[in-house]
Amino acid sequence: MASYFDDKTILITGAASGIGRRFAETVASRGVRKLVLWDRNPDVLDEVAAGIGDKCQVITHGVDVSSIESVTTHAEKLKSEGVVPDLILSCAGIVVGKMFHEHSAEEIQRTLDINTTGSMWVVHAFLEEMIERGSGHIVNLASASGYIGNPRMSVYAASKWAVIGWSESLRLEMGKLNTGISITSVVPSYIKTGMFEGVKAPFLVPLLETDQIVELMIKGISKKKSKIQAPFMVRFVPFIKSLLPERAFDWVAGNVLGVYRSMESFEGRERDKEKE
Query: What is the tens place of the pLDDT at every residue in 148-163?
Result: 999 999 999 999 999 9
Confidence of residue 208 (pLDDT cuts 50, 70, 90): very high
Q: Could you tell me the CATH number of the domain that includes residue 56?
A: 3.40.50.720
Confidence of residue 271 (pLDDT cuts 50, 70, 90): low
Q: Indicate whether 237 belongs to any domain.
A: yes
Neighbours of 145 (CB within 10 A): 25
- Alpha helix (H) residue ranges in 13-117: 18-27, 42-52, 68-80, 105-112
Determine the average pLDDT of the residues in 68-77.
Answer: 98
- Give the H/E segment covering residue 247: helix 246-251
Give pTM, 2 decimals: 0.94
At residue 275, does pLDDT exceed 90?
A: no
Q: Indicate whether 3 belongs to any domain.
A: no
Burial of 131: CB neighbours in 10 Å, binned 0-12, 13-18, 19+: middle
Q: CB-based contacts of 151: which residues, under 8 Å, 6+ apart?
A: 99, 260, 263
Please provide the distance, in angstroms rounded to a whole number, between the alpha carbons at the two ends of the chain: 46
Q: Indicate whether 63 belongs to any domain.
A: yes
Report the catalytic residues: 156
Question: What's the number of domains the chain is made of?
Answer: 1
The whole-angstrom separation of Cα 90 and Cα 142 is: 9
Buried b (16+ CB within 10 A) or exposed e, 73-99: ebbeebeeeebbbbbbbbbbbbbbbbe
Query: What is the tens place of the pLDDT at every residue in 85-133?
Result: 999 999 999 999 999 999 999 999 999 999 999 999 999 999 999 999 9
Query: What is the tens place of the pLDDT at every residue in 12-28?
Result: 999 999 999 999 999 99
Query: What is the tens place of the pLDDT at every residue in 155-186?
Result: 999 999 999 999 999 999 999 999 999 999 99
Q: Indicate whether 2 belongs to any domain.
A: no
Confidence of residue 261 (pLDDT cuts 50, 70, 90): very high
Q: Indicate whether 205 belongs to any domain.
A: yes
Q: Indicate whether 4 belongs to any domain.
A: no
Domain that holds residue 141: 9-275
The residues that bridge with 263 in the sheet, in sequence order, are none
